[in-house]
Amino acid sequence: MSTVLASSANLPRVASLQKNESKFIAWYCYALAGFVIALDQVTKLWADSALAYREIVPVTPFFNITLAYNKGAAFSFLADHSGWQRWFFAALALVAAVVLIVWIWRIKPAERLMSWPLSLVLGGAIGNLIDRLAYGHVVDFLDFFYGRYHWPAFNVADSAIVCGAAWLIWLSFFPSARHSSLDQ
């Protein structure tokens, strides 16, 4: 009986520790997103200053560095329109960033693995948002290809978004994977 009373007396303390752990996880995730943003912006600045527009620098038989500007979304979707898409995609990225920031803040410690891919998507969304607001386009420079068939050029932010989204999809198929081994 005294064990039950002692453990029930600790419930507020346990809840407080979980809340603190949850906030620590959130700040760690924001730092990860910040790292993605910094890496994305540094590499884009390098590409924009070191390369001429559409210059191709072969790296391997299947990979080039080439400077491209994308006024649209993925695969240059809507890139050929009059300019309204800049503000549409900027607004979409801003809304996504706010949703992700709140989602990460509210993640429970038991689901901490969900926060990593969300951080990647957040960092990528903000990285491309910065480009849209500053330049009116997104700077792309990574060009993978096979023979004459090229994948659309992309950047670090795009890579983070794709990796984060793929990780989230994987976690959705394996709900038990959302929980770290420390929780089991």
Domain boundaries, the chain: 22-183
Cα 184 to Cα 175: distance, rounded to the nearest angstrom: 13
When mean pLDDT is compared across 17-26, 56-65, 134-143, 175-184, the lowest value belongs to 175-184
pLDDT at 6 over 70: no
pLDDT tens string 122-151 = 999 999 999 999 998 999 999 999 999 988
User: What pTM did the predictor assign?
Assistant: 0.80
Burial class (CB in 10 A: 0-12, 13-18, 19+), 134: exposed
**Hey, which residues are catalytic here?**
140, 158
pLDDT at 82 over 90: no
Question: Cα-Cα-Cα-Cα dihedral of 25, 164, 77, 147, to 10°?
Answer: 150
Q: Is 149 helix (H, G, I), strand (E, B) or coil?
A: strand
DSSP state of 154: B
